[in-house]
């Protein structure tokens, strides 16, 4: 059994403060307690607290104001990718539309990075899809394969920003995808996507690769919404 890595004191404080913001202990637009009090609550030194506050300010959680109390920012409006990554690790405290919104963003991004990947390196896209036919008909297998494929496509696109954005969901993606792939309909849809994308890559047909990806991403969003609404109705 692998030991759980211990967080550095500043990372521990950062996580505690994010949890407190998301739980409403420190709501948006409120002021944090004074440094001395807050450090004592967290059981850390003031220099460690300042390091954590600077990191949270960098990501858009907080506004550090000279001579005034540190203010909690509207992280949905003012946050960065760092906020998005933190939210992706805490789906139990985010709005119900968080995952559908992520899928809607993927609907915009995936066709673009898939097109660029086929345009730039169609042979490597073909290689990434070569073994899809042997994929076990299991949710976990599809979840892993789908993550690795999309990650590879972002790299092959030549635009590292795509990869950085996707990496922000590295912890959320497996559990979300495994839930999505529980149904045979979802697995069949993605298997057809892999087959179609492989055919397009073999031809070096970026237009078709983009169109297939857009169609399947839209279908994924619809299937996710239908699954969530169905579970709610039968819950």
User: What is the DSSP code string of 40-78?
Assistant: HHHT--HHHHHHHHHHHHHHTSEE--TTS--EE--HHHH
Residue 50 inside a domain? The answer is yes
Asked if residue 175 and residue 155 are part of one domain, the reply reads yes
Instruction: Give the H or E element holding residue 72.
Output: strand 71-72
The CATH number for 60's domain is: 1.10.10.10
Asked if residue 148 and residue 46 are part of one domain, the reply reads no
Q: Which 8-state DSSP code applies to residue 31?
A: B
Residue 183 inside a domain? The answer is yes
Structure tokens at 19: 């949890």
What does the pLDDT read at residue 179? 86
Residue 28 inside a domain? The answer is yes
How many structural domains compose the chain?
A: 2
Asked if residue 161 and residue 185 are part of one domain, the reply reads yes
Please, are residues 35 and 46 in contact by the beta-carbon 8 Å criterion?
yes
Asked if residue 122 and residue 69 are part of one domain, the reply reads no
What does the pLDDT read at residue 3? 42
Asked if residue 107 and residue 78 are part of one domain, the reply reads no
- Give the model confidence (pLDDT) of 14-60 as tens digits: 999 999 999 999 999 999 999 999 999 999 999 999 999 999 999 99
54, 69, 91 — which closes off a domain?
A: 91
Q: What is the CB-side half-sphere exposure of residue 103 using CA atoms within 13 A?
A: 19
CA–CA separation, 68 vs 32, rounded Å?
10
CA–CA separation, 87 vs 9, rounded Å?
21
Asked if residue 101 and residue 78 are part of one domain, the reply reads no
Asked if residue 230 and residue 177 are part of one domain, the reply reads yes
The CATH number for 126's domain is: 1.20.120.530
Which residue range is the domain that position 30 belongs to?
A: 9-91
What does the pLDDT read at residue 117? 98
91, 119, 144 — which closes off a domain?
A: 91
207 CB neighbour count, 10 Å cutoff: 11
Helices 160-167/139-156 angle, 10° precision: 150
What does the pLDDT read at residue 235? 38
Asked if residue 111 and residue 87 are part of one domain, the reply reads no
212 CB neighbour count, 10 Å cutoff: 21
Asked if residue 196 and residue 130 are part of one domain, the reply reads yes
What does the pLDDT read at residue 145? 95
Asked if residue 219 and residue 135 are part of one domain, the reply reads yes
> What are residue 71's DSSP bridge partners?
31, 63
Phi and psi for 71 in degrees, rounded to 5?
-105, 140
43, 63, 91 — which closes off a domain?
A: 91
What does the pLDDT read at residue 234? 39
**Which of 99, 110, 78, 105 has its CA nearest to residue 173?**
99
| CA torsion angle 7 11 15 21 (round to 10) | 160
Segments of the chain with pLDDT less than 70 = 1-6, 228-235
What does the pLDDT read at residue 175? 80
pTM, rounded to two decimals = 0.77
């Amino acid at each position: 059994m692998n030991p759980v890595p211990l967080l550095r004191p500043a990372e521990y404080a950062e996580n505690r403060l994010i949890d407190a913001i998301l739980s409403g202990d420190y709501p948006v637009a409120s002021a944090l307690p004074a440094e001395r009090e807050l450090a004592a609550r967290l059981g850390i030194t003031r220099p460690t607290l300042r390091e954590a506050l600077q990191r949270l300010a960098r990501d858009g959680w907080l506004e550090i104001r000279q001579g005034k109390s540190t203010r909690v920012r509207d992280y949905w409006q003012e946050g960065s990718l760092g906020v998005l990554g933190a939210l992706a690790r805490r789906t139990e405290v985010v709005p119900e539309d968080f995952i559908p919104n992520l899928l809607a963003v993927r609907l915009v991004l995936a066709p673009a990075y898939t097109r660029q990947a086929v345009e730039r390196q169609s042979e490597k896209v073909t290689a990434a899809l070569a073994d899809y036919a042997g994929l076990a008909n299991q949710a976990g297998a599809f979840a892993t394969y789908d993550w690795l494929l999309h990650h590879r496509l972002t790299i092959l696109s030549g635009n590292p920003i795509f990869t950085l954005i996707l990496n922000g969901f590295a912890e959320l993606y497996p559990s979300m995808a495994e839930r999505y792939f529980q149904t045979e309909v979802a697995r069949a849809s993605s298997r057809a996507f892999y087959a179609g994308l492989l055919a397009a890559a073999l031809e070096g047909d970026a237009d078709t690769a983009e169109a297939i990806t857009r169609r399947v991403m839209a279908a994924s969003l619809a299937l996710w919404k239908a699954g969530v609404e169905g579970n709610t109705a039968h819950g």
